[in-house]
Amino acid sequence: MTELIPAPRSIVSGSGEVRLTAHSQLYADTGTQGVGHWLRTVLRQATGLPLREGREPDDAGGDGIRLQRDPELGPEEYRLVSDGNGVLIEGGSPAGVFWGAQTLRQLLGPDAYRRAPLGRDRAWAVPCLTVRDAPRFRWRGLMLDVARHFMRKDDVLRCLDLMAAHKLNVFHFHLTDDQGWRIQIERHPRLTEIGSWRARTKTGHRASPLWEEKPHGGYYTQDDIREIVAYAAERHITVVPEIDVPGHSQAAIAAYPELGNTDVIDTTALSVWDTWGINPNVLAPTDNTLRFYEGVFEEVLELFPSEFVHVGGDECPKDQWRRSETAQARIRELGLADEDELQSWFIGHFDAWLSARGRRLIGWDEILQGGLAKGAAVSSWRGYAGGIAAARAGHDVVMCPEQQVYLDHRQDPGPDEPVPIGWVRTLEDVYRFEPVPPELTPEEARHVLGTQANVWTEVMEDPTRVDYQTFPRLAAFAEVAWSALPAPAERDFAGFERRMTAHYPRLDALGVAYRPPAGPLPWQRRPGVLGRPIDGPPPHR
């Protein structure tokens, strides 16, 4: 059971094992009680052992578990020692202790991931060893798009559990788009009354002739959001909300037509979009639009305590602005050169607005066009170029290039791959992804906060499809984000595959409908549903 994912910095094996028994206790020192509660809960469920609360460190001696902080360790660093004194997990902060607890769960075997004991006698043992570990990046993210296909709150909570099991710590929550608005905003109720559902949905790629002829929708109440944020915080995951501006906004315009370019099109005729692609209907650059979204963001800030707030900024066609006298008047008024600078002004407004409230704006790399807002960070999705340009200009960057870590892209070139989208990105391809471009100097590279895998759900109609596209590749990505790996060509993929043979049973116990190494199971295929595969290797740019 020492086949750990992600790989730790070091493992030193000892001799013997520590057996947890009905007499074992779990002691958590000051500041780690939350981790102790989480660990006691999941292990009680899986093992049936009581794991009574220890009042003193010595209570956990021999066959127990101790959780302690060590100020000499880094914030997310941990040390796990299993020996004749029991199991000791020390971390530089509660987060470090929590990641050590995740390692302990792996060491106990796949049945430690079950929600109830199997009802047969078995020994729960941890091999004697010492694990020393710390993450490479502070931002180890997963983006989940719930705008294209809504996911129930319980499915979101499950996603957070799966992230925690892989030591990922940033959940980028893509809450709004043309196809749906998923967060309750009390001062603007039509955003969910109208904007949260569409009359039908395209099945497959946008060129597909197939439709699901029934309404699709849903949204999270503010109490749902509070629960999700609190659940994530218990697992030392930060939730970064995304509210798209000024593009990807047709659902909002359908709810409030005055937000659109009313002097160009009849915005009252718009409905929530039922297909995929880049939508021409974008927000009007008016004071009314700014005040409306300031109200949205005021409520968002009350719900999400994250340092960063994502504002989208991608794929904003400028055609309506070019035809809009209102937009052209705004360009003249502000002395701007063109529509790209108008978008930069729009993003810059919310950068200043968020900064004044102690938050930081982050957006997709299109926000570089026309000049990047001073305090903004960039999610580099169109390749490496945007991230390189941003880092060289002194802006923080999260590397999530489409060509490498978009998990909606197909996993294999085979004909049975369901709804094949994009380039082939195999498990090995993801494992050999390198987030820090070699073109950056060491000083510039310090602006790379970390990396993120993105899960866009246009062709993922339910959680089982999300599972299939996400796993097992998310395990490889997690190792890239956490572990101190060598250069891509030198990485031991054969060793990773060997460790994955131990990890698949963990995923099985968690109920993850991953893609098997041998290919999709019959019920995972989608014959006859058109995708959009792209041949050849992805460009490196």
Report, as residue numbers or ranges, the catalytic residues. 177, 248, 315
| Burial tier of 145 (Cβ tally within 10 Å: 0-12, 13-18, 19+) | buried
User: CB under 8 Å to 465, separation ≥6 — which residues?
Assistant: 418, 457, 459
- Angle at 382 (CA atoms; ends 380, 386), nearest 5 degrees: 45
Tokens representing 329 are: 């008047």
How many Cα atoms are found within 13 Å in the side-chain-facing hemisphere of 307? 10
Amino acid at 322: R
From CA 534, how far away is CA 49, in angstroms rounded? Answer: 51
Q: Cβ(235)–Cβ(98) under 8 Å?
A: yes
Amino acid at 233: A
End-to-end Cα, the chain, rounded Å: 40
Phi, psi of 423 (to 5 degrees): -75, 160
User: CB under 8 Å to 41, separation ≥6 — which residues?
Assistant: none
From CA 453, how far away is CA 460, in angstroms rounded? Answer: 16
Strand-by-strand arrangement of the 86-91 sheet: 10-20, 124-133, 78-83, 86-91, 65-69, 25-28, 52-53
From CA 450, how far away is CA 168, in angstroms rounded? Answer: 11
Amino acid at 219: Y
